[in-house]
Amino acid sequence: MIREAIVGIGIAITVFFAYLGTNVLPLVLLIGLLFAISVVVEKRGVVSTGHREHPSSHRVEFENIGGQESAKRELMEALDFLRHRDKIKSLGIRPLKGILLTGPPGTGKTLMAKAAATYTDSVFVSASGSEFVEMYVGVGASRVRDLFKKARSLARKEGKDSAIVFIDEIDVIGGKRGGGQGHQEYDQTLNQLLTEMDGMQTTSNPLVLVVAATNRVDMLDPALLRPGRFDRQIKVDLPDKEGRLHILKIQTANKPLAKDVDLESIAKESYGFSGAQLESLTNEAAILALREDKQEIETRHFRDAVDKVLLGEKTGKRPSSEELLRVSVHELGHAIASESVRPGSVAHITIAPRGNALGFVRQVPQQDSYLYTKEQLEGQMKVALAGAVAEELIFGNRSTGASNDFMQASNLARTIVSCGLSSLGIVDADNLQRNVLDEEIRKILSDIEKLTIELLEPFKDGIRQLSQTLVEEESMTGDAFRQWLSRQKPKQFAHA
């Protein structure tokens, strides 16, 4: 900050001239004048330091947030303590002091905090955890005090009886103390935050409610998480299929869609997407339509946008014809195995390089899954190994393109062992002898590899022919692939 710089430089210059025997009184007066000017300038906001907290526009309604019905309901119930203070006071209930929003990035935690301010008709002031920490000891603590002071003064100025202070990335200043890695500035900042949340001023008029967000709740200091500080912890998780559909409807409300666009199908294909990724998906689809000078956004634009969000923009890589053929064989192996494990799961096959991937098979789960059986895990391992197996069946060797597939298969095998689903029975994988664990993983991988070879062997000729077509056309829809698959060897495929 400017004031700290003036004080530090002023002291150094004063000491230097005093050492030389010069009269330092005029210099002291000048430094004092500069310091006073800097205080006035910063208070009036003429100079922006990049760290000052600003009130944010928070006209966000809970209806504008999709895919978080459970989290919204829980948050609104907690905020009712703020809206109906007279009622809760009659029952002797103390006001809430803090609400912690946890969950992956892009799930809408900041939007939820803004909607909370609208719901309670409160002043909304926000800051990021990284803004409180600097090399100067005490600066972060001072900023915490200023933040709460600003929230109260704004509430009084606007005639409101409550204010919401939103702190994003609170794990930056709220990390666990001790452990041999203490930092005085971090600790002082956290201590000041704890003091502000405990202080009498937080329960007086105007009431200040702290809403914080983090995706690393395990790193927070226990003092922050105890009752009386953050009284509520609300999980803002990735949306399910219905949630994704709701978000897509909100994000496409202002976009012209073609008649063939089925948002429910897109919601199904975008499994695992966060709200931010879904917003990016609809935006990228609109950009693709603009590039083609289309008046409406079509289904293929959305499908290309899904690939772009997952893998990135198409790269300028130009693989040789031999490499393209190998990639197409590899991806067809994945696709055949995926259809054998979960019929109807292949949504799109492409060999257009995107990001670090030379090809990609986008799979769609039949439904959002949270638990997996041994058979399901083994099926995923078949899909992972099928690319390399297909290469070996057609070319007689394998390539380095399967390295990530092998890593995925190995992790799945490790999961089978750690969950007690292997021949070892129930074991503690962390304390298991390394040679025993490695041998069991190798055995699982070897058995699944043999099953994958048996699965793909009947399709050798078909893979040779279709890979040539895929090289020419660059991509194939899931429906077209399933039509080809039904013309191959349905009996063997059904048996597999």
User: Per-residue confidence at 410, pLDDT binned at 50, 70, 90?
Assistant: very high
Residue 168 contacts residue 127 (beta carbons within 8 Å): yes
The candidate with the shortest Cα–Cα distance to 81, out of 65, 64, 99, is 99
Reported as a pLDDT band with limits 50, 70 and 90, residue 278 is: very high
C-alpha to C-alpha distance for 270 and 248, rounded to whole angstroms: 10
Report d(CA 107, CA 278) in Å as an integer: 10
Is a pLDDT exceeding 70 seen at residue 53?
no
pLDDT in tens, 279-315: 999 999 999 999 999 899 998 899 888 888 887 777 6
Instruction: Average the pLDDT over each of 108-122, 147-161, 193-207, 213-227 and give the range with the smallest value.
Output: 193-207
- Beta bridge partner(s), residue 211: 99, 166
**Cβ–Cβ contacts within 10 Å for residue 344, how many?**
13
Pick the residue with more confidence: 230 or 494?
230
Name the pLDDT band for 368 (thresholds 50, 70, 90). Answer: low
pTM to 2 decimals? 0.69
Write the single-letter amino acid at 306: V
Residues 6+ apart with CB under 8 A from 277: 106, 270, 309
DSSP 331: H
| 3-state SS class at 165 | strand
pLDDT (mean) for 177-181:
56
Spatial CB neighbours of 414, under 8 Å, sequence gap ≥ 6: 429, 437, 441
CA dist., res. 91 & res. 81, Å (int): 11
The whole-angstrom separation of Cα 239 and Cα 277 is: 11
Cα dist. 425→392, 410, 440 in Å?
33, 18, 11
pLDDT band at 51 (very low <50, low <70, confident <90, very high): very low
Catalytic residues: 331
Distances (CA, A) of 402 to 359, 360, 444: 11, 12, 18
Q: Of the candidates 322, 332, 359, 347, which has an alpha carbon nearest to the alpha carbon of residue 462?
A: 332
* Residue corresponding to tokens 């992972």: 384
Decide: 496 and 342 in contact? Cβ < 8 Å: no
Q: How far apart are CA 133 and CA 153, in angstroms?
A: 24
Contact in structure between 382 and 340 (CB atoms under 8 Å) = yes
Average pLDDT across the chain, whole number: 81
Assign 3-state DSSP to the chain and report helix, strand, coil percentages, each to 5: 60, 10, 30
| pLDDT band, very low/low/confident/very high, at 217 (cuts 50, 70, 90) | confident
Average of per-residue pLDDT across 38-62: 52
Residue 174 · residue 224 · CB < 8 Å: yes
Of 189, 162, 157, 164, which is closest to residue 174 (Cα–Cα)? Answer: 189
pLDDT score, position 337: 93
Alpha-carbon distance 227 to 437, whole Å? 42
Q: Environment class of residue 382 by beta-carbon count within 10 Å: exposed (0-12), middle (13-18) or buried (19+)?
A: buried
Cβ(481)–Cβ(348) under 8 Å? no
